[in-house]
Amino acid sequence: MAGKLIVFEGTDGSGKSTQFQRCCQALQAQGRTFRTIRYPRYEAESSALVRMYLGGAFGSHPDDVNAYAASTFFAVDRYAGYKEEWGSYYEAGGLMVMDRYTTSNAVHQAAKLPEGEREGFFHWLFDLEYNRMGLPRPHQVIWLDMPTHLAVVNLRSREAATHTQADIHEVDTGYLTACAQAAAQAAQLFGWQRIPCVNEQGQLRTIEEIHQEIMQHI
């Protein structure tokens, strides 16, 4: 009997990785048994095309590789991860908590398309990975809804603190805005759990406030 799959999703700079870690710590404290995985698996051979794409080998702008082609780069890495790392555990009933999944292509690749074409892309993407490739569908998607202008501030702060260079997704503010719009569209269509990262006054919520809301849903 298959297990359960919980996915953390959000645009770059949304605080997704922080909340993913906080959730895992909370589950451990509760004595829950689970496994985690982060996609893309940058250290794995199966992510070679992902690394080339994000590093600008195929063009310096996200639109230089169309949404459908780029999606296959990430899908191959997810398939390899499923076969190599977590598929047997999940199929035996295990709980998987994931930092990004197929849903990330719905956010980052659909952003390259006009709004009217995105729903068709979503259905193509989910058919490719869940039906044709045989990857399991997530049971719950936690979507961190962060306004783009605040996400950009977080990204630039992270780059300065870690002395890392932004990839072609992270450096393009217009693209990040389109990602937020695509995420909102996908969330509405497919029932993702929206977690607002700002309060009604437009102020950034604390990490703890966001964490507590997430755990209420999980």
User: pLDDT tens for residues 95-112?
Assistant: 999 999 999 999 999 999
Evaluate if residue 145 carries a pLDDT over 70. yes
> Quick one: pLDDT at residue 161?
62
> Quick one: pLDDT at residue 176?
86
In tens, the pLDDT along 22-69 reads 999 999 999 999 999 999 999 999 999 999 999 999 998 889 999 999
What's the token pair of residue 151? 């996400």
- Distance between CA 31 and CA 59 in Å, rounded? 46
* 3-state SS, residue 31: coil
- Looking only at the bridges linking them, the beta strands covering 35-38 and 4-10 are unpaired
What's the token pair of residue 149? 């202008």
Evaluate if residue 160 carries a pLDDT over 70. no
Q: Under a CB-based contact definition with an 8 Å cutoff, are residues 137 and 2 in contact?
A: no
**Measured in Å, how far apart are the chain's first and last C-alpha atoms?**
20
Tokens 């507590």 belong to residue? 212
Evaluate if residue 168 carries a pLDDT over 60. no
Q: Under a CB-based contact definition with an 8 Å cutoff, are residues 94 and 34 in contact?
A: yes
Query: ∠ CA 170-50-124 to the nearest 5 degrees?
Result: 95
- Residue 5, beta-bridge partner list: 96
Q: Residue 41: which of 6, 5, 75, 78 has the closest Cα? A: 78
Edge-to-edge strand ranges of the sheet holding 4-10: 35-38, 95-99, 4-10, 140-145, 193-196
Q: Residue 216: which of 186, 195, 192, 200 has the closest Cα? A: 195
* 3-state SS, residue 35: strand
